[in-house]
Amino acid sequence: MVRKVDVDIEKRLILVVDDEYINREIMREILKDTYDIIFAENGKEAIDKIYEYKDTLSLVLLDLIMPVMKGFEVLKHFNESKKLKRKIPFIVITSDHKSEVESLDLGAVDFIPKPFPEANVISARIKRTIELFEDRETIKSTERDALTKLYAPEYFYRYATNLDKNLSIDMDALIIDIHHFHILNIRFGTEVGDEVLSSFSKKIKETIHKYNGIVSRRGADVFMAYLPHTDEYKEILSEIENIDVEEVKGRITVKIGVYPNVDKSIDIRRRYDRAKIACDTLRNKVVTSSVAYFNKDLYDKELFEEQLIDDFEKALEEKQFKVYFQPKFNVQGDKPVISSAEALLRWIHPTLGFISPGIFIPVFEKNGLIQRMDHYVWDETAKKIKEIKDKYGLSFPISVNVSRVNMFDNDLVNDFESIVKENGIKNEELLLEITESSYTENSEQIIDTVNDLRNHGFKIEMDDFGSGYSSLNMISILPIDVLKIDMALVRNAFSAEGNTRILELIMDIKKSLNVIAVAEGVETLEQVEALKKIGCDVIQGYYFSRPLNEKDFEEFLKKELNL
Amino acid sequence: MLTIQNLKALGVDTEKGLTTCMNNESFYLRLVDRAIKDSSFENLKEALDNKDYERAFEIAHSLKGVLGNLSLTPLYNIVFELTEILRKRTDMDYSNYINNLLEKRDKIKALTL
């Protein structure tokens, strides 16, 4: 059974400002069936209320002559400066024709005379004003998505917030996602893709409306819904996935992330982050349409991530982040020779102990802290290179990772230049590792940045090569110096049923590009020999050494090079 | 008793008043009851006695709005005139106006007792 809710989910909110109780009561009686109403008794109160409800208010009905602060002052307050991001229409209530003109000058859009005209006249004028304004706003900020006619996210958030003010029942926040939609697009063309989206959004809208909820399109193939709490997601799922586009019938897989019984004290956007987190847990395991809930585990994970973010500053300050170095060996000579190293970060947390970069890096990537973390590693690494140079007279290049976000930093080249200069090392000694997926996501801009870096004499290593989706065409134009083969590829090639053919193919590519190939994650002598045979130049992995702390690394280096 | 009929007999335009109140009779009567017992009338008298025309205008203006909305015509007409004179802060003897107003008010108020 669908639970019925009395409050119309799209009831507009009106602020009535009048110092007289009786006038306010009459307005309430006239408007209460069609609108949600809040009141203020004077101008000051009105201004406070307008700020409080700025996101959801559809109209202000303003009496002009009141004690404490007159309606004029309120109009002036909002007219003179751009205090509100969006315009809220004001209708002025007055018995005085002279004030009518003046208030129109001050930005009021209409007036209602006192004594009040017939109730239906008042209703009609209010309705018209609201419609007029919303139409205008639609043009400005696209209230509805052009393709699907669903609410755009900003409007949706406003309505959802409005709902919370009227409804004291439990609500669910949903993220609804078409699994692998981009593949449908590639396979059947964008025309079919658009048709799927329209049909899909219609289905979502119909279904969610039945449950008294509202719907928005969040992004390409991702939708949001806000509805009174229900346990019927199986039914909802089967209704939604059943779309009427001939080409894809029965092929659509839908993922729903539910944040049930939302905590209304947290920001509406964050509630959808939680629904998204739930939805993301389905990412790699969806075969049939499924629902995932934001549960205790995910909540704990969120808390944990928040703690990591909170602790970041202190960790930097107290040097809890340690730079480790994993040696790389050139294997093309008779004997393997240490030729370089990769700087890797470790976090020794005072209470949580050792935290794997696999855990904290994705967290910091999400909120931009990764930029500062990267800079820290670059700096420490440059110092190390300089130290080795000073102590042993040795030019020993070390590679550092450059996160995707940093690739969009306009100051990146300058930053590297100054790090290198300050530490008195050469540009080609600080090797830069950029992941393959960075290249594919926004290739043009990345390629520009990489070209810029190379023109400045920096050497670029493409990290995790083979894990992304580079096309052969793209690879041929990539500005790189080193191909670093993805660890998973190496492991697979040497697993029980694996074969090394893909690695051989990569060696062909590296030869034609005339670059150096590095393999990481190499663990056995057998692997080293096989890689050497097919032409791999450099090897990194536990076979030679695990990542070492500063002191151990120096010892290792001394021993290897007889320093 | 405060009824539509009794109000009508005292010259109140109950039809118009009811229209404004969505034809909700008990709602209308409740508001009339409240308006008629409001201290604004006494406050207006006091302001006029003190020749505080600023305040008198404000009170009269507010009162005019309420009386108009409820179509308490006999009272509204007096306050309407008063407001116009007070708008210019005219210094004169208002006792006729205010006494007349209070007298008419008391007649309606008597219905509520």
A212 shares a domain with A83: no
| Residue A147 included in any domain | no
What gap in Å lies between CA A373 and CA A370, rounded to an integer?
Answer: 5
For residue A82, pLDDT over 80 is answered with: no
Residue A309's H or E segment, with its range, is helix A296-317
Q: Which of A141, A165, A190 is the last residue of a domain?
A: A141
Q: Which range has the worst mean pLDDT, A44-48, A281-285, A455-459, B61-65?
A: A281-285
Report residue A113: phi and psi, to 5°: -75, 160
Q: Cα separations (Å) of A325 from A173, A331, A354, A381?
A: 45, 19, 16, 9
Work out the number of other CB atoms within 10 angstroms of the CB of residue A13: 18
| Residue A305 included in any domain | no
pLDDT digits (tens, 9 = 90+) for A336-367: 999 999 999 999 999 989 998 889 998 998 87
E strands, A114-199, in order: 171-178
Q: Which of A26, A65, A115 sits opposite B61 (nearest CB)?
A: A65
Mean model confidence pLDDT for chain B: 93
A514 shares a domain with A463: yes
> For residue A257, which of A239, A271, A241, A242 has the smallest C-alpha distance?
A271
Which residue is closest to A23 within chain B, CA to CA?
B66
* CA–CA min distance A31, chain B (Å): 10
Contacts of B35 in chain A (CB under 8 A): 22
Which residue is closest to B55 within chain A, CA to CA?
A67
Contacts of B76 in chain A (CB under 8 A): 115
Interface test mutation site (partner A, options B32, B52, B61, B84, max chain A beta carbons within 10 A): B61
| Residue A301 included in any domain | no
pLDDT digits (tens, 9 = 90+) for A289-319: 899 999 999 999 888 998 999 999 999 999 9
Instruction: Please state whether beta strands A430-435 and A460-465 pair in parallel, antiparallel, or not at all (unpaired).
Output: parallel
For residue A99, pLDDT over 80 is answered with: no
How high is the pLDDT of residue A396?
96
* CA–CA min distance B21, chain A (Å): 6
CB pair distance less than 8 Å for A29 and B71: no
A170 shares a domain with A131: no
pLDDT digits (tens, 9 = 90+) for A179-232: 888 778 778 888 888 888 888 888 998 999 889 888 998 887 899 999 999 999
| Residue A1 included in any domain | no
Which residue is closest to A28 within chain B, CA to CA?
B21
For residue A25, pLDDT over 90 is answered with: yes
CB pair distance less than 8 Å for A95 and B22: no
For residue A395, pLDDT over 90 is answered with: yes
A271 shares a domain with A173: yes
Q: Which domains does chain B have, with CATH numbers?
A: 4-112 (1.20.120)
| Residue A4 included in any domain | no
| Residue A310 included in any domain | no
Find all residues with CB under 8 Å of A171, minimum gap 6, and list them.
Answer: A163, A164, A226, A227, A228, A229, A261, A262, A264
Give the DSSP letter of residue A42. S
A255 shares a domain with A131: no
Mean model confidence pLDDT for chain A: 86
3-class state of residue A73 by DSSP: helix
For residue A81, pLDDT over 60 is answered with: no
The predicted complex's ipTM stands at 0.90
A267 shares a domain with A351: no
For residue B5, pLDDT over 90 is answered with: yes
A211 shares a domain with A135: no
According to DSSP H, which parts of B21-112 are helical? Answer: 25-36, 40-49, 53-69, 73-87, 95-112
Q: Which of A88, A121, A141 is the last residue of a domain?
A: A141
CB pair distance less than 8 Å for B20 and A21: no
Q: Which of A20, A21, A119 sits opposite B20 (nearest CB)?
A: A119
- Domain hosting A117: range is 13-141
**pLDDT category, A37, cuts 50, 70, 90?**
very high
Q: Cα separations (Å) of A318 from A321, A373, A378, B29?
A: 8, 13, 17, 74
How high is the pLDDT of residue A512?
87
Which residue is closest to B60 within chain A, CA to CA?
A65
CB pair distance less than 8 Å for B24 and A25: no
How high is the pLDDT of residue A2?
38
What gap in Å lies between CA A349 and CA A33, rounded to an integer?
Answer: 58
| Residue A8 included in any domain | no
Q: What CATH number should be reported for the domain holding residue A465?
A: 3.20.20.450
Which residue is closest to A26 within chain B, CA to CA?
B21
Q: Could you give the number of structural domains in chain A?
A: 3
Q: Which range has the worst mean pLDDT, A22-31, A152-161, A387-396, B40-49?
A: A152-161
A511 shares a domain with A365: yes
CB pair distance less than 8 Å for B65 and A67: no
Contact at 8 Å (CB) between A175 and A147?
Answer: no
For residue B18, pLDDT over 70 is answered with: yes
pTM: 0.55
Which residue is closest to A31 within chain B, CA to CA?
B22
What gap in Å lies between CA A128 and CA A12, rounded to an integer?
Answer: 13
How high is the pLDDT of residue A86?
65
| Residue A330 included in any domain | yes
* CA–CA min distance B66, chain A (Å): 6
CB pair distance less than 8 Å for A29 and B27: yes
pLDDT digits (tens, 9 = 90+) for A413-450: 999 999 999 999 999 999 999 988 777 666 678 888 99
pLDDT digits (tens, 9 = 90+) for A479-534: 889 999 988 888 888 887 777 888 888 899 889 889 999 999 999 999 999 999 99
**pLDDT category, A143, cuts 50, 70, 90?**
low
A227 shares a domain with A358: no
A429 shares a domain with A354: yes
Q: What CATH number should be reported for the domain holding residue A204?
A: 3.30.70.270
Give the DSSP letter of residue A262. -
Q: What CATH number should be reported for the domain holding residue A30?
A: 3.40.50.2300
CB pair distance less than 8 Å for A65 and B62: yes
A269 shares a domain with A385: no
How high is the pLDDT of residue A11?
74
Q: A313 or A151: whose pLDDT is higher?
A: A313
**pLDDT category, A8, cuts 50, 70, 90?**
very low
pLDDT digits (tens, 9 = 90+) for A227-268: 999 999 999 998 998 888 888 877 788 999 999 999 999 989
A477 shares a domain with A419: yes
Residues forming a β-bridge with A341: A327, A398
Contacts of B34 in chain A (CB under 8 A): 21-22
Interface test mutation site (partner A, options B12, B14, B29, B31, max chain A beta carbons within 10 A): B31
How high is the pLDDT of residue A225?
95
How high is the pLDDT of residue A3?
37
